[in-house]
Structure 1
Amino acid sequence: MSDFARQQSDFQRGILADDDTILSEILDSPRETRVALFGVYRYAYGSRLVESMRKDHELLHRYLGDEMFDEMGHAYVRARPSEHPNLRWFSQGLPDFLKAAAPYSEHPVLSDLAALEKALNDAFDAAEGEVLALDAMAAFAPEQWNDLVFAPHPSARRIDVSTNAAAIWMALKNEDTPPDAATLEEPSRLLIWRQDTTPMFRELSSEEAMMWDEAADRIPFGVLCEMLATYDDPDGAAARGAGYLHGWITAGLLTAASLRE
């Protein structure tokens, strides 16, 4: 390794891993020590990453405020140094970090808010896909419906949150005062997707969430209706299933329907 390449490696390690080896090759200035001078680079690197996190998690930033968000962001930078050249992917691990690292893990609404914003960002960046039209369903005879399987749109995401993060997110988005954070008696089941160019989400009932999760695994419609029959009135299961399906199609959540092979 050339001397220049070694210096580059030491410089990078000094920023990413707080290794002070490089300090032996930096001179103090008349006004500042080498530690302070190199600290500028360390701080600038972290601040640039935190700035990108503010853009990816705008409402979490609004919820925490500048000081608390920046403190959290620098903690994340130290715990999970960037491993991707594209800043878009740097904060992908933020929900897991907030769930596991104290003191943030003591406030589960933070990881839920981060997970919701991550899912919305991922939906926005997802691949394009055909959108199944409602009139396309007329191509299938009634006796074929039991064997229909469905393909979800590439932008569709499903997450469960244990807190009222969705209500807080909506209040922040509308620039209203958010409600106090609260843990829910049962998880809130959220479906996130991109409609045209706009990422959005809505809460699902436990029944609809079950049907969506199974439909996304290409379980046939007839079997889905049998599953719905275990949730509520068995006689109305097929009608409820058709209602959920109608809602998914009109929202642009499906790309195709086909007969099970």
Structure 2
Amino acid sequence: MSDFARQQSEFQRGILSGDDTVLAEILDSPKEKRETLYGVYRYAYGSRLIEAMRNEHELLHSYLGDEMFDEMGRAYVAANPSQHPNLRWFSHALPDFLRSTAPYSEHPELSELAALEKALNDAFDAKDGPVTSLADMSGFAPEIWNDLRFEAHPSAKRLDLLSNASAIWLALKNDETPPDAAALNEPSRLLIWRQDTTPMFRELSGEEAMMWDEATSGIPFGVLCSMLATYDDPDGAAARGAGYLHGWITSGVLSGVSAGD
């Protein structure tokens, strides 16, 4: 390694870790001490990362406000040095950070609001895939429907929330005053996906969430209907299963249907 490359490496390491060893190789300017000059780079580095976090989590930023968001951002930057050249991925660990780090962990809606925003961003960036249509379904004879298996669209993801973070998200999205944060009696079961070019989500009933989770793990339609029969009214299980399936297809959350293994 050349001496210049070594200095660059030490300069970068100092910015990332706070190590001031490289200051011994930096000269004061006529107007400022080297510590001040180096501090400008450190500040700019952190500020750029926090700016990227604001872009990725606009509604969390709106919920917290500038001061609290920036304070949280500085704590996140210190705990999670950037590991990827694309800033899009810098805040990928933010939900886990908020869930596990005080004082943010004392407010579960923060990590769940971040998780919802992350899931919507991921849905937008997800790879393209075929979208199953009602016309595709018409090609399967009724006698083989019990054997049909389903594949989720690459953008589709399930997310369970234990707070009213989705209601907070919707209020912020509509420029309304968000409701007070509250724990839920049972999870809010969300399905997140990209429809055309728009990321979106909707809440599923417990039964539909169960069917989606099992369907996208490879369970065939006939078995799914049997599971629905144990979940609620057995006489209407097949009709409910067909209704859920119809909704998935018209929403564009399936990428494939096949008969048999």
**Distance in 2, Cα, partners of 1:36 & 1:160:** 47
AA partner of residue 209 (structure 1): A
- The equivalences for 1:212-227 within 5 A come to 212-227=212-227
- Partner AA of 1:165 in structure 2: A
Which SS does the other structure have where 2:138 is aligned?
Answer: helix
Q: For 1:186 and 1:44, how far apart are their aligned partners in 2?
A: 43
Once structures 1 and 2 are overlaid, which stretch shifts more, 228-237 or 198-207? 228-237
Offset from partner CA, 1:166-214 (integer Å, 9 cap, x none): 0000000000000001111111111000000000000011111111011
Looking at structure 2, the residues matched to 40 and 165 of structure 1 have their Cα atoms a distance apart, in angstroms, of: 37
Q: Which runs of 5+ in 1 are unaligned?
A: none
Partner SS for 1:139: coil
Output the CA distance in 2 between the equivalents of 1:71 and 1:179. 23
In the alignment, which residue of structure 2 is the partner of 1:118? 118
User: Pairwise mapping of residues 18-97 of structure 1 onto structure 2 (< 5 A)?
Assistant: 18-97=18-97
Q: Deviations over 1:14-38 (max 9, x none)?
A: 0011111011112233443222211
Output the amino acid matched with 2:88: R
| Counterpart residue number, 1:202 | 202
Report Cα offsets for 1:19-62 as digits up to 9, x if no partner.
11011112233443222211110010011011111111010011
1:232 matched to 2:232? The reply is: yes
The correspondence of residues 102-117 of structure 1 with structure 2, limited to 5 A, is 102-117=102-117
State the TM-score, normalizing by the size of structure 2. Answer: 0.98
Question: RMSD between aligned alpha carbons?
Answer: 0.9
Q: Which SS does the other structure have where 2:230 is aligned?
A: coil
Q: Answer with 84-93 or 21-30: which moved more.
A: 21-30
Alpha-carbon distance in structure 2 between the residues aligned to 1:33 and 1:157: 52
The one-letter code of the counterpart of 1:219 is I
Q: Which ranges of 4 or more aligned residues in structure 1 deviate by more than 4 Å? A: none
Match of 1:136 in 2: 136
1:50-89 superposed Cα distances (whole Å, 9 cap, x missing partner):
1111111010011111111111111111100010011111
What is the aligned partner in structure 2 of residue 153 from structure 1?
153
Corresponding pairs, count: 261
> How many percent of aligned residue pairs carry the same amino acid?
76
TM-score by length of 1: 0.98
